[in-house]
Amino acid sequence: MAALHNRVSRKELKERILNDNTPRTTISFYCYFKIDEPVSFRNKLYQDLNELNVLGRIYLAKEGINAQISIPTAQLENFKFYLNAYPALKNLRLNIAVDEETKLNDTVTKGKSFYVLDVKVRNKIVADGIDDPLFDMANKGKYVNAEEFNKLTNEPDTVVIDMRNHYEYEVGHFENAIEIPSDTFREQLPMAAEMMNADKEKNIIMYCTGGIRCEKASAYMLHKGFKNVFHLEGGIINYVNQAKEKQLPNKFHGKNFVFDQRLGERITEEIISTCHQCGKPADTHTNCVNDACHLLFIQCDECKTKMEGTCSNECLAIIQLPLEEQKKIRSGIDKGRNVFNKAKERLKQFKP
């Protein structure tokens, strides 16, 4: 029986991808559809995609699939053919990355967004906190493409809502977009409904990175009684690609945060955020190099050199210690709470 999990160390896999010159394409896609046996589907998917040399992160649940992957460019058509074998996934929209550049070990490369294949089964592909049995994803908002988005956002009665986390919004967002001030989607949903409660007749356009969160958010808003709800088809990634292809005005400014090794893809040259340590213009996210921390934050090149890639003087001091002492310090620490945690209150803790 073929392996159903990766059996090579992630360190070795990372070195492999760095030394592999095979052209790769970064893709994201999702689909809400019923999966009766997610575990069985997961096992087959892992085996099949492993044969195509697919790398990346895929989540499955009874409600559907959510994927961010990297695939050898030469296998792209075979991959599409494979997806088309599933009726629910036939001719599925695939979001091709806007910017393939990745910085690994201070080396800028292309197509190195992932270095391992992870396929996991979860309760939901997007954790939403919704427990109302009457909620139905089939009743979702209307899709808008890039051209329709631009036209609708020119109207005074249109409100644009960003359904991403604060750390994503911080480095780039659409013009006049409203931020929902939370770092969890389950908290954002009721907050968005409450914030818009007095404007139920307005046009509401919801957007996110690739479309998966705003699609569910649009269904939630309709469920809560809002009438004119839209969501950006394919999210920011598809919008930018369509705007380029059709030479449309681009209403997105800054950088699009992505959940892979790139931690962001450049959309415009504007830098709309600042270094969390010195306050200079910067929009490069990094994880603190202290293995007992790994906090996600924005750091300019100057502070990166000065702080050696750490988020604070405390972490800077820890990485100077012998490895055995560092291991003792991080033993039992749940650093997962810091990864991709960018709540506004935590900004105060970054000052070195």
What CATH code is carried by the domain that includes residue 209?
3.40.250.10
CA distance 188 to 346: 18
89 within domain boundaries: yes
126 within domain boundaries: no
Q: Does 208 qualify as catalytic in the annotation? A: yes
Phi and psi of 119, rounded to 5°? -125, 115
Q: Please say if the pLDDT value at position 135 is more than 90.
A: yes
Q: What are the tokens at 51?
A: 């044969």
Comparing 25-29, 85-89, 176-180, 291-295, the range with the smallest average pLDDT is 291-295
* Alpha carbon 174 to chain centroid, angstroms: 16
CB contact at 8 A, 298 and 342: no
CA distance 200 to 221: 9
What is the model's pLDDT at position 258? 86
Q: What is the mean pLDDT of the chain?
A: 88
Q: What letter would DSSP give residue 74? A: G
Comparing 37-41, 136-140, 201-205, 339-343, the range with the smallest average pLDDT is 339-343
What is the model's pLDDT at position 17? 75
276 within domain boundaries: no
What is the model's pLDDT at position 177? 97
Q: Which range marks the domain in which residue 82 is found? A: 10-121
3-state secondary structure 109-175: EECCCCCCEEEEECCCCCCCCCCCCCCCCCCCCEEECHHHHHHHHCCCCEEEEECCCHHHHHHEEEC
Q: What share of the chain is helix, strand, coil (3-state, %, to 5)?
A: 35, 20, 45
Q: Please say if the pLDDT value at position 248 is more than 90.
A: yes
Up-side HSE of residue 30: CA atoms within 13 Å toward CB? Answer: 26
Distances (CA, A) of 82 to 77, 79, 91, 194: 9, 5, 11, 42
Q: Within this chain, do residues 159 and 237 fall inside the same structural domain, yes or no?
A: yes
273 within domain boundaries: no
Q: What letter would DSSP give residue 335? A: G
Q: Within this chain, do residues 197 and 147 fall inside the same structural domain, yes or no?
A: yes
Q: Within this chain, do residues 238 and 148 fall inside the same structural domain, yes or no?
A: yes
| CATH, residue 114 | 3.30.70.100
231 within domain boundaries: yes
Q: Within this chain, do residues 149 and 196 fall inside the same structural domain, yes or no?
A: yes
Q: What letter would DSSP give residue 281? A: B
Q: Please say if the pLDDT value at position 263 is more than 90.
A: no
Q: Within this chain, do residues 106 and 159 fall inside the same structural domain, yes or no?
A: no
pLDDT class of 111 with cuts at 50, 70, 90: low
What is the model's pLDDT at position 100? 60
Q: Within this chain, do residues 296 and 211 fall inside the same structural domain, yes or no?
A: no
Q: Within this chain, do residues 90 and 59 fall inside the same structural domain, yes or no?
A: yes
Q: Please say if the pLDDT value at position 39 is more than 70.
A: yes
Q: Within this chain, do residues 19 and 115 fall inside the same structural domain, yes or no?
A: yes
268 within domain boundaries: no
178 within domain boundaries: yes
82 within domain boundaries: yes
Share of the chain above pLDDT 90, in %: 71
What is the model's pLDDT at position 345? 47
**pTM of the predicted model as reported, rounded to 2 decimal places:** 0.81
**Residue 71, beta-bridge partner list:** 25
What is the model's pLDDT at position 340? 42
User: Could you count the other beta carbons within 10 Å of the beta carbon of residue 177?
Assistant: 20
Based on the structure, what is the number of domains in the chain? 3
Pick the catalytic residue from 208, 293, 300, 311: 208
Q: Please say if the pLDDT value at position 79 is more than 90.
A: yes
**Residue 81, beta-bridge partner list:** none
CA distance 309 to 182: 26
Q: Within this chain, do residues 18 and 117 fall inside the same structural domain, yes or no?
A: yes
Q: Please say if the pLDDT value at position 348 is more than 70.
A: no
Q: What are the tokens at 133?
A: 């049995």
Query: Which of 15-24, 56-65, 175-184 has the highest mean predicted lDDT (pLDDT)?
Result: 56-65
CB contact at 8 A, 211 and 30: yes
What is the model's pLDDT at position 347? 45
Instruction: List, for residues 298-337, the tens digit of each pLDDT value.
Output: 999 999 999 999 999 999 999 999 988 888 887 766 554 4
* Among 246, 244, 279, CA closest to 265: 244
CA distance 150 to 309: 39
CA distance 313 to 183: 25
Instruction: List, for residues 172-228, the tens digit of each pLDDT value.
Output: 999 999 999 887 899 999 999 999 987 788 999 999 999 999 999 999 999 999 999
